[in-house]
Amino acid sequence: MEKKPVLLVVDDDPQVLSAIDRDLRSEFRRDYRILRANSGTEALEALHQLKTRAEPLALVLADQRMPDMEGVQLLEQARTLFPEAKRVLLTAYADTEAAIRAINDARLDYYLMKPWDPPQDLLYPTLHDLLSAWQATYKPRFSGVRLVGFQWSPLSHELKDFLAAHMVAFQWYDFETNPEAPVLLASTGYSPSELPVVLGADGQTLAQPSRGALAELLGLSRKASQELYDVVVIGAGPSGLAAAVYGASEGLKTLIIERQNPGGQAGTSSRIENYLGFPTGLSGAELAHRAWAQAVRLGAEFLLSQEVTKLCVQDQYKVLTLADGSEVRTRAVVMTPGVSYRQLEVPGIEHLTGAGVYYGAARTEARSCGDQDVYVVGGGNSAGQAAMYLATYARRVFIVIRGESLAASMSAYLIEQIGRTPNIELLPFTEVQEVRGQDHLEEVVLRQNRTGEVQTRAARALFVFIGAKPSTEWLCDVLLCDGKGFVLTGRDLVADPRYAGQWKRGREPFALESSVPGIFAAGDSRAGAMARVASAVGEGSMAIKFVHQYLDE
C-alpha cells in the first residue's frame, strides 16, 4: 500500500516547530504523514528523499526567516521537485510584504501569520482548502480510476479531459511507453485495438466509452429524479453554477444540466488570479468543483453528460427534451450554455485535433510536454494562463499573436508574469499557416506577417485560444438572438426597433429575460455580457432574483 501523503513543516525555532507540528498532527494525522525540519537545508534533504522514494508530498509550510535559507527560497526549490504540492509561507507581520511578492514570484499558494491561535479559525480552514484542492488532482499509484490508451489518440485525450474536468483522480498509462500498460490491459481481457480502456475503482472496465458511459461508471447522475422543477439551469459554467447555488439556497427545486464539463470555458483555465477572494489564484477546475459541491450541499440536482436538444413552451411550463429522448418539465429556465473555442482553420488542423492540437486543455496535456517545445495561439487571459502553466513542464513555450503586443487583450499581472518567465517567448505579428504530422503533431508552419518570412518548426503540442462563439445553435429558433448568435435579453427586446413586436407580455421584460417569458439568459452566451468570471457569477445569481419575480406573477 502507498504511504500517506506528506505534510512537511519547517522552522528554525524549536518552540514554534513543536507547536505547528502538534497542531498539524491533531487535525491531519489520520490522512497525512507529518514530517518536520529545523532548517531549509534539512528540509531540502527530506524533499530529495521523498522524491527518490516516489512518496507523495501534499504541502510544505515553511517559516520565512531562517538563518541558512529564507522560506521563499525553500518553497521555490520545493516547487521544482514537487510542482503540484501546495506551498505555504509562515510569516510575522513585518514580513507580509515579502509574502505577498512571493505569491507572484515564487507561485506561493498562501501565507499564514504568526501566531495562528486558535488553529480552528486561523490555520485549519486554509489548510483544509489547499489540501482538498491538492487531493482533487492527486493521482494515487494503486487506487482510483485508471486509463490505458495511446498518447496520440483523440478519444484518449477526450477521456483524460473529461476526468480532469470532473476532478476525478486518475492514473494515465500510455500503452506505447509505460511498461505496466500491456500487463494492465491484459488483465481486462481487451486487446490493443480496443483502446482506450477505463478501469474503475470498483473493478468495472469500459473499452472506448462514450462520455455518458464514463459518467455512469463514475456514478454521476444522468436521470432527473423529479417530475417538475421550479427552475432548470442549462449549462454548468460559472453563471450556471451560481444560478444553481442561489436557486437551491433560496428554496427553489433546482436542476442543472451540463452536456460537457463543469466550469465551461473558465473551467479549462489553468489559473485564475483576478477573482475576488482568492489572492493566490485557483484553477478553473477548482472553482467549478467548489461551486458544484456547494450547489449539491444546498440541494441542487445535477445531470452531467446530458444534452438538451429541444425546448418548447406548454401553457406556463417549459418542456426540455434530452438527447436520450427523456423530458424534463420546469416552470422557469436559466440559459447559461456558454461559449466554445473558435476553431483554427489551417491545413492539417482537423486531422491532428486531439493528437497534439488542443483547445483549452493545458492542464490535461501539460505533463506530456516535458522538455519539449509547445506553442500557444492567442493573446487573451486564457492563453496567458495556459502559457504560464505549460512553462512549468515544457522546455520552451511560444505565444503566437497577430498583433504587436499582449497589452490590448491580456491583464497586466499576466503580462508581467510572462515577462519574468525565461522559457516563454512572444512571437508578435505571427500566424500559424499550417500544422503537419502523420498520426500526431510534428511541425507548425509560421508566417511572420511583417516580413512575409515562413518558418517550419518542430512542435510537441499546439494549444489554441483564439476567441469563442456562443453555444446557442439549437436555441436561436426558440429565442431571439443577435446576428452573432448571442441571446437578446431585457431592454434590448423593446428598445431596438429591429425587434419591435417580439415581446408579447403586458410588462417590460426583466433585465435577463429572453424573448420567451420565464426563460432567462446569463453569462457569456448573452448579448452584451462581459467575458469575466466574476460578471458571469453575478449574472447567474441575478437570474434567480428574476426567476422569483416571474414565478410570483
**Domain contains 222:** no
Distance CA 491, CA 45 (A): 64
Position 50 confidence tier, pLDDT thresholds 50, 70, 90? confident
**Domain contains 498:** yes
**Domain contains 215:** no
Are 459 and 488 members of one domain?
A: no
User: Helix, strand, coil shares of the chain as percentages rounded to 5?
Assistant: 35, 25, 40
The pLDDT assigned to 532 comes to 86
Are 293 and 326 members of one domain?
A: yes
Question: Pick from 299, 318, 175: which is nearest to 245 by CA?
Answer: 299
Query: Which three cell numbers, joined as nine digits, stand for 237?
Result: 459554467
CB atoms under 10 Å from CB of 463, counted, come to: 28
Taken as a whole, the chain contains a residue count of 553
**Structural domain count of the chain:** 4
Q: How far is CA 217 from the centre of its chain?
A: 22
* 142 pLDDT above the threshold of 70: no
Q: Which of 449, 466, 483 is the last residue of a domain?
A: 466
Are 280 and 328 members of one domain?
A: yes
Residues 388-413 as b/e (b if ≥16 CB within 10 A, e otherwise) read bbbbbbbeebbbbbeeeebeebbbee
CA atoms within 13 A on the CB side of 439: 4
Distance CA 304, CA 119 (A): 38
Q: pLDDT per residue over 261-301, tens digit each?
A: 888 888 778 788 888 888 888 888 889 989 999 999 999 99
As a three-state string, the secondary structure of 174-219 is ECCCCCHHHHHHHCCCCCHHHCCEEECCCCCEEECCCHHHHHHHCC
Kindly report which listed range (382-386, 498-502, 543-547) carries the lowest average pLDDT score: 498-502
The string of DSSP codes covering 151-176 is TT-HHHHHHHHHHHHTT--EEEEETT
**Range of 106's domain?**
6-137
Are 239 and 325 members of one domain?
A: yes
Position 62 confidence tier, pLDDT thresholds 50, 70, 90? very high
Beta strand 170-174 with 145-149 is parallel
Q: pLDDT per residue over 393-402, tens digit each?
A: 999 999 999 9
The SS3 of residue 51 is helix
CB contact set of 436 (below 8 Å; sequence gap of 6+): 348, 442, 443, 444, 445, 456
Q: pLDDT per residue over 63-90, tens digit each?
A: 988 888 888 889 989 988 898 899 998 8
Are 399 and 290 members of one domain?
A: no
CB atoms under 10 Å from CB of 6, counted, come to: 20
Query: Which three cell numbers, joined as nine digits, stand for 469?
Result: 462563439
**Domain contains 260:** yes
**Rounded to the nearest 5°, which phi and psi values hold at 317?**
-105, 155
Are 244 and 382 members of one domain?
A: no
What is the mean pLDDT of the segment spanning 315-322? 93
What is the mean pLDDT of the segment spanning 190-210? 91
**Rounded to the nearest 5°, which phi and psi values hold at 228?**
-145, 135
The CATH number that applies at residue 152 is 3.40.30.10
**Domain contains 489:** yes
The pLDDT assigned to 49 comes to 85
**Domain contains 457:** yes
Are 482 and 334 members of one domain?
A: yes
Is the separation of the CB atoms in 172 and 196 below 8 Å? no
Is the separation of the CB atoms in 252 and 244 below 8 Å? no
Question: Pick from 288, 1, 3, 24: which is nearest to 131 by CA?
Answer: 24
The pLDDT assigned to 527 comes to 93
∠263-268-272 over CA atoms, to 5°? 90
Are 61 and 127 members of one domain?
A: yes
Distance CA 443, CA 346 (A): 13
Are 316 and 248 members of one domain?
A: yes
Are 319 and 357 members of one domain?
A: no
**Domain contains 221:** no
The pLDDT assigned to 1 comes to 46
**Domain contains 1:** no
The pLDDT assigned to 141 comes to 58
Position 389 confidence tier, pLDDT thresholds 50, 70, 90? very high
Are 240 and 189 members of one domain?
A: no
The CATH number that applies at residue 289 is 3.50.50.60
Q: pLDDT per residue over 414-443, tens digit each?
A: 999 999 999 999 999 999 999 999 999 999
Partner residues linked to 198 by β-bridges: 147, 206
Mean pLDDT of the chain: 90
Q: How far is CA 52 from the centre of its chain?
A: 30
Are 158 and 242 members of one domain?
A: no
Is the separation of the CB atoms in 225 and 301 below 8 Å? yes
Question: Pick from 207, 213, 210: which is nearest to 193 by CA?
Answer: 207
